[in-house]
């Protein structure tokens, strides 16, 4: 009988032989052996002295063969048109600091540009179906997913659950402000759904291109914290469902996205779930009906599947009116995906979440994806710009302590 050792050696020999013979069939570039190394001068900053230095670094003189051209698929036919629309939307967002995209248009963008599969849209509507109850609010169910967005690498990674905390400092004035809140997590099929993945890429496209003021105490050198909430607000004959019972508030981040995934029995004509974007002059915590009309920047209402609002959260406040029923005998439900994005806090620093902005990958549902799309490859900024952090140098100061802001800036420049 053949021993394990001799069959292993035999197998290795067969493998070597196969690889060698295959290698001979492919023309090989003699890239490493026969070319002389050349020296090229690069300028770099000495991290200790801060001086700019010249360095001679050996480079190889290689002529790279051209990359074979991709054959466009049938689904790419409308891609050029939607790519142009998306570019225009990003310009609008840069200028106005908010944008509202109607569901039908969003559907086309997610499908044609970001590769969402048609069969996944119907499934995605049910993203809130298996939410856990919200331990803090009786009229809603919740799921919270954390991801870390690495703009240099162009990746998003599913992260472990951490407590969620907001205080008045971030613009959140409610009875549970300052509490460490825990929510259930969305089911893992949502991560695998191509509509969800297309939404992550859609948001990344805006983050790459739209500068925003960094949150006080957040670190421009760290990755982005991406909290995706799946929220069902429920109004019953006895309980009024309020998407934002805290009244006028901020979400404590840099970018907020809100998107409708499904609703039933909601009386939109009577002013249900109207979102008002407000200037920072508005008073925190007052009900949506009491805001000063002079402070209203924009009014939007998510009514259809994928209706989407995106805004720079640290540059404005917002509020949402309650959900009213069409048929008062039945319950009304409003399902939303709400995404809150900001730079991770300096660990152990002054930001409220500074102890919880960890980047430990999720143990039970490990998952990572690219946040860049091949169709937009020429529309992302160069990695070097991101490395310097130049596009995020401004910081939103705390209203309480401006001296600490200066300290933070000094630390950043170190
Ligand atoms: Fe909000």
How much distance in Å is there from the Cα of 247 to the middle of ligand 1? 9
How much distance in Å is there from the Cα of 30 to the middle of ligand 1? 59
Rounded CA gap, 67 and 159, in Å? 35
How much distance in Å is there from the Cα of 161 to the middle of ligand 1? 20
How much distance in Å is there from the Cα of 64 to the middle of ligand 1? 50
Q: Are 337 and 229 in contact (CB under 8 A)?
A: yes
How much distance in Å is there from the Cα of 197 to the middle of ligand 1? 22
Q: Which of 184, 213, 210, 162 is nearest to 352 (CA)?
A: 162
How much distance in Å is there from the Cα of 115 to the middle of ligand 1? 28
The verdict on residue 12 lying in a domain is no
Q: How many domains does the chain have?
A: 1
Residues 114-141 have a mean pLDDT of 94
At residue 61, does pLDDT exceed 90? no
What CATH number should be reported for the domain holding residue 337?
Answer: 2.60.120.620
What is the overall mean pLDDT for the chain?
84
The verdict on residue 264 lying in a domain is yes
What pLDDT shows up at residue 99? 98
The verdict on residue 162 lying in a domain is yes
The verdict on residue 178 lying in a domain is yes
Q: How far is CA 157 from CA 179, 222, 224, 328, 366, in A?
A: 26, 14, 11, 43, 8
How much distance in Å is there from the Cα of 244 to the middle of ligand 1? 7
- Concatenated DSSP letters for 312-346? EGGG-EEEEPPB-BSSTTS-EEEEEEEEEEEEPBP
How much distance in Å is there from the Cα of 321 to the middle of ligand 1? 12
How much distance in Å is there from the Cα of 60 to the middle of ligand 1? 53
How much distance in Å is there from the Cα of 301 to the middle of ligand 1? 14
Per-residue model confidence as pLDDT tens digits over 181-235: 888 999 999 999 999 999 999 999 999 999 998 888 899 889 999 999 999 999 9
How much distance in Å is there from the Cα of 87 to the middle of ligand 1? 26
How much distance in Å is there from the Cα of 248 to the middle of ligand 1? 8
What pLDDT shows up at residue 56? 76
Rounded CA gap, 203 and 21, in Å? 47
Q: Which of 257, 258, 259, 216 is nearest to 341 (CA)?
A: 257
How much distance in Å is there from the Cα of 322 to the middle of ligand 1? 13
Sign of CA pseudo-dihedral 352, 355, 358, 363:
negative
How much distance in Å is there from the Cα of 280 to the middle of ligand 1? 14
How much distance in Å is there from the Cα of 319 to the middle of ligand 1? 7
Going by pLDDT thresholds of 50, 70 and 90, the confidence category of residue 329 is very high
Going by pLDDT thresholds of 50, 70 and 90, the confidence category of residue 13 is low
Going by pLDDT thresholds of 50, 70 and 90, the confidence category of residue 7 is low
How much distance in Å is there from the Cα of 205 to the middle of ligand 1? 22
Tokens describing residue 30: 């003699």
Going by pLDDT thresholds of 50, 70 and 90, the confidence category of residue 391 is very low
How much distance in Å is there from the Cα of 249 to the middle of ligand 1? 6
At residue 131, does pLDDT exceed 90? yes
Residues 90-99 have a mean pLDDT of 97
Q: What is the 3-state secondary structure (H, E, C) of 281-293?
A: CCCCCCCHHHCCH
pTM score? 0.80
The verdict on residue 19 lying in a domain is no
- Residue 152's CB is within 10 A of a number of other CB atoms, namely 10
How much distance in Å is there from the Cα of 42 to the middle of ligand 1? 47
Where do runs of H (alpha helix) occur along 193-349? 194-209
Query: Mean pLDDT lowest for which of 94-103, 171-180, 341-350?
Result: 171-180
The verdict on residue 23 lying in a domain is no
How much distance in Å is there from the Cα of 318 to the middle of ligand 1? 6
The verdict on residue 13 lying in a domain is no
CA end-to-end span of the chain? 68
Domain extent at residue 308: 78-413
SS3 233: strand
How much distance in Å is there from the Cα of 380 to the middle of ligand 1? 28
The verdict on residue 2 lying in a domain is no
Q: Are 38 and 56 in contact (CB under 8 A)?
A: no
């Amino acid at each position: 009988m053949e021993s394990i050792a001799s069959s292993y050696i035999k197998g290795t020999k067969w493998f070597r032989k196969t690889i060698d013979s295959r290698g001979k069939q492919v023309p090989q570039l003699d890239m490493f052996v026969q070319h002389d190394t050349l020296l090229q001068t690069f300028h770099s900053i000495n991290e200790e002295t801060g001086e700019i230095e010249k360095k001679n670094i050996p480079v190889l003189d290689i002529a790279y063969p051209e990359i074979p051209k991709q054959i466009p698929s049938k689904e790419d036919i409308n891609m050029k048109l939607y790519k142009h629309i998306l570019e225009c939307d990003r310009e609008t967002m840069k200028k106005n600091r908010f944008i509202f995209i109607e569901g039908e248009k969003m559907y086309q963008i997610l499908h044609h540009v970001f590769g969402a599969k048609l069969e996944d849209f119907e499934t995605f509507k049910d993203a809130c179906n298996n939410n856990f109850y919200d331990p803090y609010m009786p009229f809603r169910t919740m799921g919270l997913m954390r991801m870390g967005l690495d703009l240099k690498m162009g990746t998003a990674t599913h992260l472990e659950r951490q407590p969620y905390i907001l205080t008045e400092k971030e613009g959140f004035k409610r009875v549970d402000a300052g509490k460490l809140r825990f929510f259930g997590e969305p089911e893992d099929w949502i991560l695998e759904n191509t509509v969800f993945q297309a939404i992550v890429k859609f948001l990344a496209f805006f983050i790459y291109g739209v500068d925003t003021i960094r949150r006080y105490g957040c670190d421009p050198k760290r990755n982005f914290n991406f909290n995706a909430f799946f929220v069902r607000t429920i109004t019953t004959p006895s309980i009024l469902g309020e998407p934002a019972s805290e009244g006028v508030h901020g979400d404590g981040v840099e970018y907020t996205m809100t998107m409708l995934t499904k609703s039933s029995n909601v009386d939109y004509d009577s002013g249900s779930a109207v979102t008002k974007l407000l200037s920072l002059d508005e008073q925190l915590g007052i009900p949506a009906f009491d805001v000063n009309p002079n402070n209203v920047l924009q009014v939007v209402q998510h009514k259809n599947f994928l209706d989407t609002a995106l805004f720079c959260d640290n540059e404005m406040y917002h509020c949402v009116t309650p959900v009213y029923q069409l048929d008062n005998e039945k319950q009304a439900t409003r399902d939303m995906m709400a995404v809150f994005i900001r730079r991770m806090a300096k660990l152990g620093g002054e930001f409220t979440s500074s102890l919880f902005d960890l980047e430990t990958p999720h143990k039970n549902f490990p998952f990572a994806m690219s946040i860049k799309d091949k169709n937009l490859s020429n529309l992302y900024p160069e990695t070097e710009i991101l490395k310097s952090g130049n596009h995020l140098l401004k910081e939103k100061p705390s209203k309480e302590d401006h001296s600490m802001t200066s300290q933070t800036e000094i630390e950043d420049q170190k």
